[in-house]
């Protein structure tokens, strides 16, 4: 056995030890083949933390697109119609109904505000959407709406950390990092977990795509809106591709020599990292070049006009990434945090996201990608049925509401055209089928073929997982 072969064994052993129960035997076999040095013409072992791996059982979904709606849109004005509210409009609720409410700004005796928007039933499912999101309405039969989400956090940062990391405080890995860690990536020239943003920066900052205690290979790579799409992707001025290639060749050669002297596998990994970096330099600009998209697709996403341009571009990019094997795409849009002037805020945000989000579902579907791509629309929580009116002239808003809010899923093994959960007539409490954020996460991991209790990472003396100590897969919405 050569030193390289021995080193490869060593690397796998170390990797599997760290993964603990996280990776199944099947994954081990897969890993062996993915790193099979026998197939590689080079004498270097292939050490790639993003090598594709198999999950615990056969998955429905291969890719995830998470549309995080930062700041929390009002479910009562978009997805969960409550005609019952109008009966209370302008009145306070009795204290018995509100005594356990956790509210950030307003007092429990704040007055009820009925939604001013008309709702309409769409498709065969008859799912209701408000007039602010007519495009999403046309996807009703592809959507699974959960109306009874709940979370512990009632402030933005803890809330979005709960959604993305399963815990209200900083320090845990993002769901995208967990997925990249569990599955690796199909793409050999793009990162496995990509983050796109539009509007204002998201709550939680970079923590929501951070790798936490997982190796940083699994952190989200932010595609930027200014400058290079990936930080430091472009060569320095004066460096042509040819010059770059010759530079990388000599770096490789010297690194290989060092590897021969030391037998340290990290050098092999370093060489692979440089090669992937070079492939990214070539692939990323192509990803961003929409000239191969027909006009009707660009129009459907609204990628070339305001106000849909930013989110539309990102949705189209998300589809192109999924096509190229990117495992997890996070699309952040904000800011929905309408404590004041909710009408103005929600009309503006809906005009930016409704059309592109719907276009993405349809486009994935027509390409046969929706079955294997799970699209998730979620905020960190919802908004209260009560009005927030800080000052008479401030313009009506709604406060944070973590007890019941709506989100939707589409594709990836989720039952289309379904509504899960029932809220009471004023949208204050769940009546039936309460779903916790950990349940959502358990379900998303299930769609990817993971038992959420077994996708773990040993850290600080215990096995951590995305769903912390909770989570139950929501069987009723699975196909």
Partner 1 sequence: MVKREVVGGTFMKNLGKILFFLALVQTSSSLGWAEGSQNALSLPPVAQKPIDFSRDIEPILKGRCTMCHGEAQQLSGLRLDQRSTAMQGGYSGPVIIPHKSSESKLVRIVSGVIKDVVMPPSGERLSDDEVGLLRAWIDQGASWPLEAETALEATASSGRKKSSHWAYQPLKKPVPPEIDNPKWARSPVDHFILARLSKEGVDPSPEADKYTLFRRLHLDLIGMPPTPAQITAYIKDSDPAAYETWVDRLLESPHYGEKWAMQWLDLARYADSDGYEKDLVRPHAWRYRHWVIKALNDDMPFDQFTVEQIAGDLLPNATTEQKVATGFHRNTLKNREGGVKIEQFRFEEIIDRASTVGTVWMGLTVACAQCHDHKYDPITQKDFYSLFSFFNNADEVNIDAPLAGEMGPFLSQWPRYRTEREELLQKNRVYELMPAWEEKMRLAARNPGKWTDLDHAYDALGKYLDNGHGIVEKSPSERTRKETDSLIDHFVVNYHRIITKEFNKELNYKDLLRGNSSFPSGKLQDLKDKFPAVSEAQTIAESAQGRKSNIHIRGAWNQKGIEVSSAVPAFLGSLENTTNASRIDLAEWIISEDNPLTARVTVNRIWQEYFGAGLVRTSENFGSQGETPTHPNLLDWLAADFIEHDWSLKKIHKTIVMSTAYRQSSAARPELVTQDPDNRWLARQQRLRLPAELVRDSTLAVSGLLYPKIGGKSVRPPLPPGVTGLSYGNSQQWPEESDGRDRYRRGLYVLLQRTIPYPQMATFDATSREITLCKRERSNTPLQSLNLLNDPVFTEAAQALAVRILSESKQSFSERLLHAFQIALARTPSDEELESLQKYYHRQTQIFEQEPGAAEKLAPVELAGISRIETAAWTGLSSVLLNLDEFITRE
Q: Which residues between 174 and 193 bind partner 1 (CB under 8 A)?
A: 191
Q: What is the torsion angle, in degrees rounded to the nearest 10, for the CA atoms of residue 219, residue 448, residue 412 and residue 161?
A: -40
Measure the CA–CA gap between 76 and 130, rounded to whole angstroms: 9
Long-range pairs of 102-106 with CB within 8 A, sequence gap ≥ 24: 102/154, 102/402, 102/403, 103/154, 103/384, 103/399, 103/400, 103/401, 104/154, 104/155, 104/399, 104/400, 105/339, 105/388, 105/390, 105/399, 105/400, 106/384, 106/386, 106/387, 106/388, 106/399
**Cβ(54)–Cβ(188) below 8 Å:** no
Residue whose CB is less far from partner 1, 231 or 288: 231
Residue from 238, 292, 295, 475 in contact with partner 1 (CB under 8 A): 238
Interface with partner 1 by CB under 8 A: which range of 265-273, 319-327, 350-358, 366-374?
265-273
472 counts as binding partner 1 under rule CB under 8 A = no
Indicate which single residue of 68, 122, 154, 464 sits in contact with partner 1 (rule: CB under 8 A). 154
- Which residue in the set 89, 235, 309, 351 belongs to the binding site for partner 1 (CB under 8 A)? 235
Q: Is 37 in the site for partner 1 (CB under 8 A)?
A: no
DSSP, res 81: -
222 binds partner 1 (CB under 8 A): yes
Stretch that binds partner 1, among 37-45, 124-132, 246-254, 411-419 (CB under 8 A): 246-254
Task: At 145, give phi and psi (nearest 5°).
Answer: -100, 125
Q: Return the residues of window 61-80 that contact partner 1 according to CB under 8 A.
A: none
Taking the CA of residue 214 as centre, how many other CA atoms within 13 Å lie in the half-sphere pointing to its CB? 31
Give me the least distance between CB of 342 and partner 1, in Å please.
16
Task: Identify residues 89-148 at the interface with partner 1 (CB under 8 A).
Answer: 94-97, 99-100, 104-107
Among 20, 201, 285, 286, binds partner 1 (CB under 8 A): 201
Angle at 226 between CA 221 and CA 232, to 5 degrees: 50
Q: Per CB under 8 A, does 173 bind partner 1?
A: no
CB of 78 to partner 1, least distance (A): 21
Does 204 bind partner 1 (CB under 8 A)? Our answer is yes
The footprint of partner 1 on residues 417-456 (CB under 8 A) is 424-425, 428-429, 431
CB of 347 to partner 1, least distance (A): 19
Tell me how far apart the alpha carbons of residues 26 and 32 are, in angstroms, rounded to a whole number.
10
CB-nearer residue toward partner 1: 23 or 364: 23
Q: Which of residues 341-380 bind partner 1 (CB under 8 A)?
A: none
Exactly one of 49, 59, 402, 412 binds partner 1 (CB under 8 A); that residue is 49
Among 33, 42, 86, 262, binds partner 1 (CB under 8 A): 262
Region of 10-18, 27-35, 55-63, 318-326 interacting with partner 1 (CB under 8 A): 10-18
- In the complex, the smallest distance separating the C-beta of residue 3 from partner 1, rounded to whole angstroms, is 5
Contacts of 154 (CB under 8 A, 6+ apart): 102, 103, 104, 381, 400, 401, 402
Under rule CB under 8 A, residue 266 binds partner 1: yes
Cβ proximity to partner 1: between 193 and 363 the closer is 193
Our finding on whether 39 is near partner 1 (CB under 8 A) is: no
Q: Which is nearer to partner 1, 278 or 293 (CB)?
A: 278
Rule CB under 8 A: choose which of 92, 138, 255, 340 binds partner 1.
Answer: 255
C-alpha span between 393 and 97 (Å, rounded): 28
Q: How far is 35 from 465, CA to CA, in rounded Å?
A: 26
Find the angle CA(366)-CA(198)-CA(419) to the nearest 5 degrees. 50
Scan residues 276-305 and list those touching partner 1 (CB under 8 A): 276-277, 280-281
Among the listed ranges 59-67, 114-122, 239-247, 304-312, the one in contact with partner 1 (CB under 8 A) is: 239-247
How far is it, in rounded angstroms, from Cα 360 to Cα 317? Answer: 10
Using the contact rule CB under 8 A, the part of the chain among 179-187, 247-255, 409-417, 448-456 near partner 1 is: 247-255
SS3 string of 219-279? Answer: CCEECCCCCCCCCCCCCCCCCCHHHHHHHHHHHHHHHHHHHHHHCCHHHHHHHHHHHHHHH
For partner 1, the binding residue among 21, 29, 32, 254 (CB under 8 A) is 254
> Strands 373-378, 405-410: parallel, antiparallel or unpaired by DSSP?
antiparallel
51 contributes a contact to partner 1 by CB under 8 A: no
Nearest by Cα to 408 from 41, 127, 108: 127
Q: Which is nearer to partner 1, 236 or 295 (CB)?
A: 236
Q: Which residues pair with 67 in a beta bridge?
A: 331, 377
| The two structure tokens encoding residue 353 | 């996201």
Count, residues near partner 1 per rule CB under 8 A = 107
Site for partner 1 in 398-417 (CB under 8 A): 399-400
The owner of tokens 């697709």 is: 297
Region of 116-124, 214-222, 370-378, 440-448 interacting with partner 1 (CB under 8 A): 214-222
């Amino acid at each position: 056995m050569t030193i390289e072969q021995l080193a490869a064994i060593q690397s796998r052993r170390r990797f599997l030890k760290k993964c603990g129960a996280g990776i199944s035997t099947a994954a081990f076999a897969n890993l062996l083949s993915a790193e099979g040095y026998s197939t590689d013409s080079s004498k270097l072992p292939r050490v790639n933390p993003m090598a594709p791996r198999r999950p615990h059982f056969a998955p429905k979904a291969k890719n995830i697109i998470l549309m995080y709606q930062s700041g929390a849109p009002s479910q009562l004005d978009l997805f969960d119609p409550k005609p019952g509210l109008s009966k209370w409009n302008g009145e306070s609720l009795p204290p018995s109904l509100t005594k356990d409410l956790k509210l950030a700004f307003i007092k429990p005796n704040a007055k009820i505000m009925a939604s001013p928007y008309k709702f309409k039933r769409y498709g065969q499912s008859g799912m209701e959407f408000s007039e602010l999101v007519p495009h999403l309405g046309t996807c009703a039969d592809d959507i699974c709406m959960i109306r009874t989400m709940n979370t512990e956090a009632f402030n933005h940062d803890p809330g979005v950390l709960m959604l993305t990391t399963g815990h209200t405080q900083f320090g845990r890995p993002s769901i995208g990092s967990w997925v990249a860690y569990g599955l690796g990536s199909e793409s050999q020239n793009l990162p496995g977990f990509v983050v796109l943003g539009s509007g204002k920066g998201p709550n939680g900052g970079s923590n929501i795509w951070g790798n936490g205690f997982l190796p940083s290979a699994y952190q989200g790579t932010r595609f930027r809106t200014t400058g290079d799409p990936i930080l430091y992707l472009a060569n320095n001025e004066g460096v042509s591709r040819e010059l770059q290639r010759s530079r990388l060749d000599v770096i490789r050669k010297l690194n290989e020599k060092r590897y021969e002297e030391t037998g340290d596998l990290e050098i092999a990994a370093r060489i692979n990292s440089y090669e992937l970096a070079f492939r990214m330099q070539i692939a990323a600009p192509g990803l961003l070049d929409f000239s191969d998209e027909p006009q009707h697709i660009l129009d459907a996403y609204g990628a070339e006009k305001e106000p849909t341009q930013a989110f539309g571009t990102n949705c189209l990019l998300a589809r192109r990434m999924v096509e190229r094997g990117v495992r997890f795409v996070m699309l952040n849009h904000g800011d929905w945090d309408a404590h004041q002037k909710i009408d103005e805020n929600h009309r503006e945000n809906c005009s930016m996201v409704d059309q592109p989000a719907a276009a993405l579902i349809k486009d994935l579907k027509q390409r046969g990608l929706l079955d294997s791509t799970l699209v998730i629309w979620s905020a960190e929580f919802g908004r209260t049925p009560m009005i927030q009116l800080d000052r008479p002239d401030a313009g009506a808003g709604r406060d944070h509401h973590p007890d019941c809010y709506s989100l939707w899923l589409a594709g990836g093994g989720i039952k289309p055209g379904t509504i899960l959960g029932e809220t009471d007539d004023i949208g204050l409490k769940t009546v039936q089928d309460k779903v916790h954020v950990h349940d959502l996460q358990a379900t998303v991991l299930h769609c990817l073929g993971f038992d959420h209790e077994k996708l773990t990472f040993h850290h600080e003396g215990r096995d951590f997982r995305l769903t912390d100590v909770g989570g139950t897969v929501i069987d009723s919405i699975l196909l």
